[in-house]
Amino acid sequence: MSLQPRAVLIHRRSEYDDLVARHGTRQQAAFFLEARDRDLGEVLARHEAQLAAMQRVSAVVPVDWRRADVERHDLERFVFGPEDIVVVVGQDGLVANVAKYLDGQPVVGIDPEPDRNPGILVPHHPGDARGLLDAAVQGATAVQERTMVEAVTDDGQSLRALNEVYVGHASHQSARYELSLVDGRREHQSSSGVLAGTGTGATGWLRSAWQERHSHLDLPRPVDPDLCWFVREAWPSPATGTTLTEGALAAEESLLLTIESDQLVCFGDGIEADALTLTWGQRLTITKARTCLRLVV
């Protein structure tokens, strides 16, 4: 007998939760903010909007479904099942945080604050949740498949991301490595790190790198299978070059980094706590991930 669907509600602690946890009481948190010309009421309003959205979504989950509530910091310890319908209630970035842990489960993005969030990855109103859940389990929803990026080490460790992966020094010192392309070009480099990512990431950190250098590279769209990559602040020296600092990767192409530093890290979508540690001589291959984010639109 197949399992009943499980609604997995993803959320993150609010700024209000963090302030009260840090200062002990609501009054102390208010005093802290007032000393910095900020008002607790603003923070509390966003907290209450998040709670209201969570309660509204939770109330419409069918009674015969299983359910789970997962806070962002617990994602790496939570085991998703193939029958899960993932409901993200929060900002766009929360969808990126959860995407790396999924394997094809549909994701419904709910925006608790449409006046504040772009809503690109969380396009739906809390009031739409019931219809979206019913349609998702019946396979009757429109799903946008967004490309993801994957980094794999030569000893089998791997990491996926929706936006981008970053390879560099954890303390932002110079990173040393050899960069190799599929056409045979290669270069020893010393830089602030390498960014490689997707069309979704091309609206964020990757776009910042693209704009800063006035690049003429065509950035991919979110559903395109292509990736793009940028080297940050490559340093010219007798031993290191600066000629291979940006490029595009077609669906079957890869970018290879051979590590020449004592210790570098590779993390995805800004989650530094969940990173691969890379040492001298290790090879890291960056390519299009085998899975994608299946976003209910």
**Whole-angstrom distance, CA of residue 188 vs CA of residue 136:** 48
Domain with CATH 2.60.200.30 in the chain: 148-290
Tell whether the model's pLDDT for residue 186 goes beyond 80: yes
Domain with CATH 3.40.50 in the chain: 6-141
Confidence at 196, pLDDT banded by 50, 70, 90: very high
Per-residue pLDDT tens over the stretch 224-246: 999 999 999 999 999 999 999 99
Say which amino acid occupies 37: D
How, if at all, do strands 84-89 and 106-110 pair?
A: parallel
Tell whether the model's pLDDT for residue 70 goes beyond 90: yes
Give kind and range of the element (H or E) at residue 145: strand 143-153
Q: Find how far residue 115's CA is from the centre of its chain.
A: 22
Q: Find how far residue 134's CA is from the centre of its chain.
A: 26
Average pLDDT over residues 210-235: 95
Confidence at 1, pLDDT banded by 50, 70, 90: very low
pLDDT reported for residue 243: 96
Tell whether the model's pLDDT for residue 272 goes beyond 90: no
Average pLDDT over residues 86-107: 94
pLDDT reported for residue 286: 98
**If you average pLDDT over every residue of the chain, what do you get?**
94
Per-residue pLDDT tens over the stretch 279-296: 999 999 999 999 999 999
Per-residue pLDDT tens over the stretch 34-47: 999 888 998 999 99
Torsion from C-alpha of 285, 286, 290, 292, nearest 10 degrees? 160
Candidate CATH numbers 3.30.460, 3.40.50, 2.60.120, 3.90.1200; the one for domain 6-141: 3.40.50
pLDDT reported for residue 271: 85
**Whole-angstrom distance, CA of residue 72 vs CA of residue 277:** 22
Candidate CATH numbers 2.60.200.30, 2.130.10.10, 1.10.150.20, 3.40.50.300; the one for domain 148-290: 2.60.200.30
pLDDT reported for residue 141: 84
pLDDT reported for residue 107: 97
Per-residue pLDDT tens over the stretch 117-175: 888 999 999 999 999 999 988 887 889 999 999 999 999 999 999 999 999 998 888 99
